[in-house]
Amino acid sequence: MILTVTLNTALDLTYHVPELRAHRSHRVGDVQERPGGKGLNVARVLAALGHEVTVTGFTGGVTGRVVQDLLTRTPGVVDALVPVGGTTRRTVAVVDMRSGDTTRLDEPGPVIASAEWSAFQEAYEGLLAGADAVALCGSLPPGVPVGAYAALVRTARAAGVPVLLDTSGEPLRRGVAARPDIVKPNAGELAELTGSHEPSRATLDARRRGAQSVVASLGAQGLVAATPEGRWRATPPHRVHGNPTGAGDSVVAGLLSGLLERLPWPERLSRAAALSAATVASPVAGEFDHPTYENLLPRIALTTLASAA
């Protein structure tokens, strides 16, 4: 079983409009609802790949009940969310059908009380007992300590469970120091962590800060990875146009599925890059276009990078 942690779960709403224009009313052509937050997106992709997944994090209020109801309709995903007194946030993605661009509006999430954080930590320790790997994903809701992910990384390592961290800012900086097995930042998050805007160099710096392996998402330019086994760049053969929301979450799913299937690192990266691009071709986060994925997987260009001096 793979465990995904989404401390700041959400109800994701995706609106499609003919053209998004400021200061205008818009008639929405299509509305889609999905359980949201990075870890829930990861879980849906993993389930689609045939893996058993349990999701945990916080849920509360009317929005939280909608999220949990939607999760019951997701085959292969087990709901182990922890209830809180606040209300789960909403995120809104507005897709401009003319340009293909997406505009996002993200609420901050409920304030988490110290007793609720303690209850989550206890539940998390219990879930680790049945986990083969764990992904810690996304932002922290108000009230959760900034070092929360570092603590959860250490708990997973003590339990002997491989852990992947996908967050940003200070939670990322502290989490990397706790020595997760894999860190998956995007280019901006990696630059903020290391001070370097050259991704290949920055992945090496992030490893020196504590991460065992670092895989950075570079958008349409694919992935760059620094691992104990080597360094690679994985690039799709062409740019895929669509909604990029959730593309990084599909990278996480590809890396975790490859880890559990004991694939060599180059194969993990090819899978992750193909899934990411195929997610852009899907209308909503947490899903990928299967024909696009099957078409891209054998066409991902893998380049071996020189070892660090």
Which residues are tagged catalytic? 249
Dihedral class, residue 34 (left if φ above 0, else alpha if ψ from -120 to 50, else beta): beta
Q: Judging by DSSP bridges, how do beta strands 53-59 and 213-217 pair with one another?
A: unpaired
Token digits for 45? 């992709």
Helix/strand/coil for 150: helix
**8 Å CB contact between 288 and 275:** yes
Nearest to 44 by CA among 76, 12, 81: 76
CA gap 169, 72 in Å, rounded? 33
Q: d(Cα 137, Cα 6) in Å, to the nearest integer?
A: 6
Q: Are 37 and 9 a contacting pair, CB within 8 Å?
A: yes
Size of the chain in residues: 309
Among 9, 11, 61, 5, which residue's Cα sits nearest to residue 34? 11
Return the structure tokens found at 267: 């194969």
Q: Which residues pair with 93 in a beta bridge?
A: 14, 104
Closest to 273 measured CA to CA, from 304, 308, 232, 242: 232
Q: Residue 42 corresponds to which tokens in the numbers above? A: 């990861």
CA angle 132, 133, 137 (to 5 degrees): 155
Residue among 258, 254, 257, 302 nearest 274 (CA): 254
Contact call for residues 213 and 183 (beta carbons, < 8 A): yes
224 and 232 in contact (C-beta within 8 Å)? yes
